[in-house]
Each structure stands twice: as C-alpha cells, then as structure tokens.
Structure 1
C-alpha cells in the first residue's frame, strides 16, 4: 500500500528506519520535482491491505494510505 509521499528523502528514510522491514520507498518525478513515496507491506488482496491500514501508526494513518498494485508502482518507477 502507498502510505505517504514527501519531497524530502531524509524524512522518508527516517520513517523506514522507525517502521522496520515492511516499509520501502521509491522515487518518482511529480510536477518536475522528485517525490519519495513510502509503501508498506505486501498483501494477498485489496481487502487485506485496507485492513492493514488500521495497524499503522496514527501519524501514518492520517495520510490516508491506500492499496496499490505492484504493477502500478513499477509503472510509476519506470517513468
């Protein structure tokens, strides 16, 4: 699932360090500038991903995480 995006790679790296191994991030270009996108977990279904949102820390839930397919993330990374 996609958790949050930030223009600051350092901020995203800090969230990865705090959260542990289930967190990853990737860089994309948005409106001509780098955007670092934090993702969490790998789920067997959309419902499982939506249920996992409730297990995230409140500060991450506030960003309104949403399920994404691996294909959609790979597509963004290749742009």
Structure 2
C-alpha cells in the first residue's frame, strides 16, 4: 500500500500505535548506534500502525518488513503494538 499520509492525519488509535512504534524504534536505534530509519522507515511504521498485525505472519506481509527485520524485530514490534491495544 505504501500510503504517504502525514502522521497528523491518522485517527487516534492509529496515531497512538504509530507513536508507540516510533518510541520503540528510537530506543533500538540508540542501542544500536544507527539512525532510526535504518530499523524501519516512517512509512513502514505507519503501515504497521494502520494494519495492526496480530502475529509475525501478518507483520511479514507489510511492505518494508523483510525476513531479516521480521526475524530481528518481529516480536518486539508486536509487543510495542500490544501496549496500545
């Protein structure tokens, strides 16, 4: 899908999930000493927030979530989403 929506246009629930994902990503980036977009780009986080995957299979179907990132971050991304359910 790759929507190019500004985060401000997201509905409240989606926005809350997006904010939680960005906070999670910022912490991982700081731990790894890399820029946040190396972990996931904003548009990928928006897609994850909109689709709200319930498991790694659903998460893996989202554009920008490859096998490597799913392996490395899948469970943590789902946990970050669970905070906002």
Higher relative helix content? 2
Query: TM-score normalized by structure 2?
Result: 0.32
Query: TM-score normalized by structure 1?
Result: 0.33
Higher relative strand content? 1
